[in-house]
């Protein structure tokens, strides 16, 4: 039976675990401060399609139901782990359970896979008592960013692999900016943000409970829409579709505001976490590598062909990091991990 950290008893256990970890740290060798760990660091990666790096090929576990996670063999956890090894920082990766489509609550509940392909264990099941580092991104699917995109695009409302329905299919896509800033659309968005914040708090609490010695790193999402949205009126080199397909230019700042609000919410959860947690602010560091930055784009356009192919047909990026974007994610995550382990 899974334990919940929402009860007072569980919170006391979490606090005790944090206190014990602090005492052990204080009891360490006097000369160890500021030095990278000599021993491998037991690590668990968790997350959704932005951690799994949907769209990048080849994909892990193609011979099992986990193939539906579309977890790239060279996702940012793998690339960051290699770059840290080059600096003599060895991560002992106990597991990478990142999976496309994961909601925050899939951290403690079974995840239902698409097309009736089965279900996966809760991501927290990968945690061990000796896990010392946890890294990953969750929140975008719980917010419903795919539904937000479909609310704003007639093209994305057509049958596709992108899951979910628009928030209100009776409202025209061209008016989605107004929809999310007033009335029922604004209320829906506010409710979603409240859910995301509360569930991310529980996620960090659960890590503290099941892996009391683990450093917790919450990774934000890279920026999709640039400040200068006029750049989104030009197709990327070699492309015919605009980066955001048929989403009107005047709606793009609204999408950017929603993404920044998600970034700020994630940052706050990490800052307020009992026992401390770290945040990788990808949004702040990727403003020159959005979907609209042409050859410098780190995000594949909504309908731009990714590296994945299903039944002989290329699958679109749907706004996920391409190889350049993956490398940016990996560098910023590796830099943060190095900073944490050298404290």
Q: Does the annotation mark 320 as catalytic? A: yes
Q: Does the annotation mark 183 as catalytic? A: no
Which is catalytic among the residues 101, 144, 185, 220? 101
Q: Three-state DSSP class for 45?
A: strand
Q: Where are the beta strands (DSSP E) in the chain?
A: 41-47, 91-96, 111-112, 119-120, 133-137, 215-219, 278-280, 305-310, 313-316
Which is catalytic among the residues 53, 60, 75, 141? 141
Return the closest-CA partner of residue 117 out of 63, 165, 71.
Answer: 63
Q: Does the annotation mark 32 as catalytic? A: no
- For residue 263, the surrounding DSSP H or E stretch is helix 252-272
Q: Does the annotation mark 101 as catalytic? A: yes
Return the closest-CA partner of residue 164 out of 180, 183, 154, 149.
Answer: 149
Question: Which residues are paired to 42 by β-bridges?
Answer: 92
- DSSP letters, 49-83, are HHHHTTT-SSBTTTTSGGGGG--BTT-HHHHHHHH
Q: Determine the Cα–Cα distance for residues 265 and 117; give it in Å rounded to an integer.
A: 32
Which is catalytic among the residues 21, 49, 319, 325? 49
Which is catalytic among the residues 47, 153, 306, 320? 320
The catalytic residues are 49, 101, 141, 320
């Amino acid at each position: 039976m899974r334990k919940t950290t929402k009860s007072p008893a569980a919170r006391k256990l979490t606090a005790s675990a944090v206190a014990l970890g602090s005492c052990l740290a204080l009891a360490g060798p006097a000369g160890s401060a500021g030095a990278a760990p000599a021993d491998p660091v037991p690590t668990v990666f968790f997350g959704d399609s932005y951690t799994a790096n949907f769209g990048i090929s080849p994909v892990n576990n193609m011979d099992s139901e986990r193939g539906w996670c579309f977890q790239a063999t060279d996702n940012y956890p793998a690339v960051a782990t290699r770059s840290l090894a080059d600096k003599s920082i060895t991560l002992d990766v106990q597991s990478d359970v990142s999976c496309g489509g994961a909601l925050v609550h899939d951290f403690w509940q079974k995840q239902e896979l698409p097309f009736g392909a089965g279900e996966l264990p809760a991501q927290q099941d990968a945690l061990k008592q000796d896990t010392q580092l946890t890294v990953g991104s969750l929140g975008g699917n719980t917010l419903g960013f795919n539904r937000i995109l479909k609310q704003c695009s007639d093209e994305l409302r057509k049958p596709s692999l992108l899951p979910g329905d628009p928030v209100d299919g009776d409202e025209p896509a061209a008016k989605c900016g107004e929809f999310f800033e007033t009335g029922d659309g604004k209320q829906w968005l506010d409710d979603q943000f409240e859910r995301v914040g509360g569930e991310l708090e529980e996620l960090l609490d659960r890590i503290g409970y099941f892996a009391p010695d683990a450093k917790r790193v919450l990774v934000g999402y890279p920026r999709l829409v640039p400040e200068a949205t006029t750049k989104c009126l030009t197709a990327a080199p070699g492309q015919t579709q605009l980066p955001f397909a048929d989403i009107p230019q005047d709606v793009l700042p609204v999408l950017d505001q929603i993404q920044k609000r998600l970034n700020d919410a994630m940052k706050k959860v990490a800052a307020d976490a009992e026992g401390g947690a770290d945040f990788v602010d990808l949004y702040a560091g990727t403003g020159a590598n959005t979907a609209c930055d042409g050859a410098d784009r780190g995000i594949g356009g909504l309908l731009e062909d990714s590296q994945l192919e299903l039944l002989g047909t290329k699958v679109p990026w749907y706004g996920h990091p391409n190889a350049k974007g993956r490398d940016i994610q990996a560098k910023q995550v590796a830099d943060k991990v190095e900073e944490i382990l050298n404290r």
